[in-house]
Structure 1
């Protein structure tokens, strides 16, 4: 019987800045409908694939919950099998937590709530979509539009005259993008948070330009009936040595004002040596393309803008230590300045320090796919036409293409929904993108099917099918309801007006929710202008 923890005991950890990881083991859809502030989404079917990177220390305290579906009890042995030593169930689940703490909609909520707080405290300047369009339509206006999202989001849709400059790169590339102090700068994102944080990043640094956020981002632009550009590829270039040095001076001043701590190689080694007793995340905050060209051993790429926007994508343990790395003295400092305000214990590796070739590392969680019940691509192709293929990828990936004839199934509900398959006596083959999730869920599937049918997982997954030269199909077969992914009303170009406006209305209320909740630990540092 797994041990339990009450909601009040859980909240005590957050208030006192003690390490703890809270896992919502439902699908992302239900998670996005309602969850505690610092919960992270790790569906029970994806534990083996997702959890080791999010919780790298085996002795870190982990709490799991659901909303009465029974996933939490199924998750406990899977987590224990990875080697974790301190796992508890949230007593009463989500409904019990809601009696003592606020529950939140959407994803990336801590950062979005923090962004609203930043605007409220600093009165971050902004312009409406109509005001921005009037400025942009004036051929005499000296204005630069910097899009603070990831490049892929910018490429999908963007504001006219916008250039891609993700928030983590804003100050680093600023003087290359905007050489004149007389130029007005508009920072935009899809909704609100990255516009606010990006604008405030530049204001906080002390640059002389006038900087404003595009209020409500591309959502606000769309709601005003204005046209967005699509498939744009304009990026702000890497800065010259002179532009980079100017940015460094501004970044150093602001980071010192906020209280960002720099560490040397010896202190990094000390943290690494302590990582079996204190969770440690080593994060390289540079652009992914730079990271791919070379990076220190042990450091994971977490581009600074996205690390601030969605910290839970890389860091699962609230209260952990974070060490940030760059090569310029700008990006790590500015990223850290925000993470400090978000309540993280964060350090910056001084850009004069070297990273040892082999840092001590915590004993890592481990999982190996079962050797039994696997089937190779050659064996798969030799199966009879009576075989049934079940795909455990996320539903948007399934819609884009899957092995012909494959059914989509929800991982958490795989055992239940296999029982609803049309009658047949041929073998069942599980697949997923690379076969990992399929392998992790083969035992659940075997328990459901019993001895009635043979069941395997495809070695290498759907990637092996493509590598063998086969085409993917888009004809859909739904064994499970696709609640695995939350449809974000700020991504893509075909969102309903009601969903976009509802999202904005929700964001406006986040500061009140934070105040009522009382566990965030945020502290906004006021800018010095």
Structure 2
């Protein structure tokens, strides 16, 4: 029997100081159209794949919310099946939440996005408009532009002359860029948050240069009809020499000012054996570094993205976050931001971490059928394509139907072949089709393999219909693709977030003068 909780009681849970995982089990498009401020996206289509990473402790207090369609009850049962013991469902879904007088917020990464706006106000982070920056560059002024986004985002579009230096790397790499102390430095992103956080990071760490956030990022630049570059790859220099003692001292001082404590091996070992608390160990080095030299038991979480999208890494509110690096600069700086974001963040040395306690869990996968054997038995199976709705539109096997796990219903007497990029997505979807494992299979290969096997692959630009594409976030999705109205709407959304907060939500953040 699923335990149902009223929205008002759930709202109290969110501020009672105890650990809680508040999971929105709707799909990405539904989530982005409106969700509670502290809800973590955990779509039912990936539930058993993502939740063990987001909520590693199986006795964590979990509250689920859906669209009032019964998906949360199905998700609660699925979570109990994999060992979660304290799962509740919010009554009447997001409709009930709104009816209780609580706000539904559009967009994604809400706490981090809102935090950026609060930082600019509370710390008076300097900013420069796109038109003013362009004017100063045209006048021949030497200005360094650092783009605080990951390289793949930088590659899509960038300010001419900018260098990619993700926010998590700024405090460590700035000193190796050989920038004259009087040279102005501009930090930009695609919108606002990472521009503000990046600029304030350099100010907080004590760089001598004038530092500014580029107001409204590349979108603001584009809205002024200024040209953007595409396909660029200029990035910071990867220098492996230890940081200067002065930089280490500044990073440690910033962490201390924010209330970040350094914990030792004895403390960490005690936490590892505390059955009532959750610990996330987060390695904030660059993806290249964590891939080449992984820290056992740590989650790779590039520092800039961890601040920008904490809810993609941490699903338990009130957990202990232990931040690690190998240089002594990035971890203290990132931890200082996480503290101000309202998290219980600490710093630890890599050598003090406890041994990894368990191996990664794996889901039992479906047997595969090869494309050439799909119709070997005469009677065609039911083909269910679980790939993204965008991929289905671009090309799918003729006769296949697009679907997604929340829309599946039991088909006990029918053979089903799933099409999925991730085998685990097909495996968990099969649980909603039939209890008979042998009745479900996954098709091997991709569109090219299917065509080589003689299967006809067709494109359907209008199928599934937009109303059915619950996996796709339409909210200003084309703001980077020439739609100026969408770019303006996105920036208005971002600057309007703070005004939507209630008193409890404002209290989450540790910044001067915002309570």
Tell me the TM-score normalized by structure 2.
Answer: 0.90
Following the alignment from structure 2 to structure 1, what is the Cα–Cα distance between the partners of residues 309 and 341?
11
Q: Which runs of 5+ in 2 are unaligned?
A: none
Q: Greater shift after overlay, 279-288 or 486-495?
A: 486-495
Q: 1:169·1:305 contact (CA, 8 Å) conserved in 2?
A: yes
Which residue is 1:355 aligned to? 353
Which residue is 1:514 aligned to? 501
RCO higher in structure (CA 8 A, sep ≥6): 1
Which residue is 1:316 aligned to? 315
Q: Deviations over 1:260-303 (max 9, x none)?
A: 111122222222122x3211111111000000111221111000
C-alpha change, 1:473 and 1:299, in structure 2 (3 Å) is farther
Which residue is 1:211 aligned to? 211
Q: How far off its partner does 1:370 sit?
A: 6.0
Q: 1:205·1:254 contact (CA, 8 Å) conserved in 2?
A: yes
Which residue is 1:345 aligned to? 344
Q: 2:167·2:304 contact (CA, 8 Å) conserved in 1?
A: yes
Which residue is 2:383 aligned to? 389
1:494 corresponds, among 455, 460, 481, to 481
C-alpha change, 1:388 and 1:300, in structure 2 (3 Å) is same
Which residue is 1:413 aligned to? 407
Q: Deviations over 1:466-518 (max 9, x none)?
A: 9x999995723735622202146477731522221111112222122224554
Q: 1:434·1:462 contact (CA, 8 Å) conserved in 2?
A: no
Q: Deviations over 1:221-274 (max 9, x none)?
A: 111111110000000112463655443232122112112111122222222122
Q: How far off its partner does 1:97 sit?
A: 1.8
Following the alignment from structure 2 to structure 1, what is the Cα–Cα distance between the partners of residues 254 and 49?
38
Q: How far off its partner does 1:93 sit?
A: 2.0
C-alpha change, 1:55 and 1:464, in structure 2 (3 Å) is farther
C-alpha change, 1:511 and 1:343, in structure 2 (3 Å) is same
Following the alignment from structure 2 to structure 1, what is the Cα–Cα distance between the partners of residues 237 and 379?
53
Q: 1:433·1:463 contact (CA, 8 Å) conserved in 2?
A: no
Q: Deviations over 1:331-385 (max 9, x none)?
A: 111110010011111111136x4434x3445x98x663366x7545674474659
C-alpha change, 1:520 and 1:436, in structure 2 (3 Å) is farther
Following the alignment from structure 1 to structure 2, what is the Cα–Cα distance between the partners of residues 469 and 176?
54
Which residue is 1:421 aligned to? none
Following the alignment from structure 1 to structure 2, what is the Cα–Cα distance between the partners of residues 32 and 520?
24
Q: Greater shift after overlay, 35-44 or 129-138?
A: 129-138
Q: Deviations over 1:310-331 (max 9, x none)?
A: 0111111111111111001111
Q: 1:143·1:184 contact (CA, 8 Å) conserved in 2?
A: yes
Q: Greater shift after overlay, 154-163 or 65-74?
A: 65-74
Q: How far off its partner does 1:118 sit?
A: 0.5
Which residue is 2:112 aligned to? 111
Cα RMSD (Å) of the superposition?
3.1
Q: 1:273·1:360 contact (CA, 8 Å) conserved in 2?
A: no
- Secondary structure (helix, strand or coil) at the match of 1:503 reads helix
Following the alignment from structure 2 to structure 1, what is the Cα–Cα distance between the partners of residues 167 and 157?
17
Which residue is 1:179 aligned to? 179
Which residue is 1:34 aligned to? 34
Which residue is 1:476 aligned to? 460
C-alpha change, 1:348 and 1:491, in structure 2 (3 Å) is farther
C-alpha change, 1:310 and 1:474, in structure 2 (3 Å) is farther
C-alpha change, 1:345 and 1:470, in structure 2 (3 Å) is farther
Which residue is 1:47 aligned to? 47
Q: 1:207·1:250 contact (CA, 8 Å) conserved in 2?
A: no
- Secondary structure (helix, strand or coil) at the match of 1:29 reads helix
Following the alignment from structure 2 to structure 1, what is the Cα–Cα distance between the partners of residues 178 and 408?
53
Q: 2:371·2:453 contact (CA, 8 Å) conserved in 1?
A: no
Q: How far off its partner does 1:72 sit?
A: 1.2
Which residue is 2:9 aligned to? 9
Q: Deviations over 1:22-74 (max 9, x none)?
A: 11111111111111111011222221111111110100011111122221122
Which residue is 1:291 aligned to? 290
Q: How far off its partner does 1:14 sit?
A: 2.5
- Secondary structure (helix, strand or coil) at the match of 2:79 reads helix
Which residue is 1:272 aligned to? 272
1:368 corresponds, among 363, 367, 371, to 363
2:440 corresponds, among 452, 456, 464, to 456
How do residues 115-134 of structure 1 correspond to structure 2 at under 5 angstroms? 115-134=116-135
Q: Which runs of 5+ in 1 are unaligned?
A: 419-424
How do residues 110-259 of structure 1 correspond to structure 2 at under 5 angstroms? 110-139=111-140, 141-239=141-239, 241=241, 245-259=245-259
Q: Greater shift after overlay, 69-78 or 95-104?
A: 95-104
Q: Greater shift after overlay, 473-482 or 292-301?
A: 473-482
Q: How far off its partner does 1:465 sit?
A: 5.3
Q: Deviations over 1:101-131 (max 9, x none)?
A: 2221100000001111001111111111111
Following the alignment from structure 2 to structure 1, what is the Cα–Cα distance between the partners of residues 4 and 250?
48
Following the alignment from structure 1 to structure 2, what is the Cα–Cα distance between the partners of residues 197 and 505?
19
Following the alignment from structure 2 to structure 1, what is the Cα–Cα distance between the partners of residues 319 and 302?
19
Following the alignment from structure 2 to structure 1, what is the Cα–Cα distance between the partners of residues 243 and 89?
52
- Secondary structure (helix, strand or coil) at the match of 1:228 reads coil
C-alpha change, 1:473 and 1:186, in structure 2 (3 Å) is farther
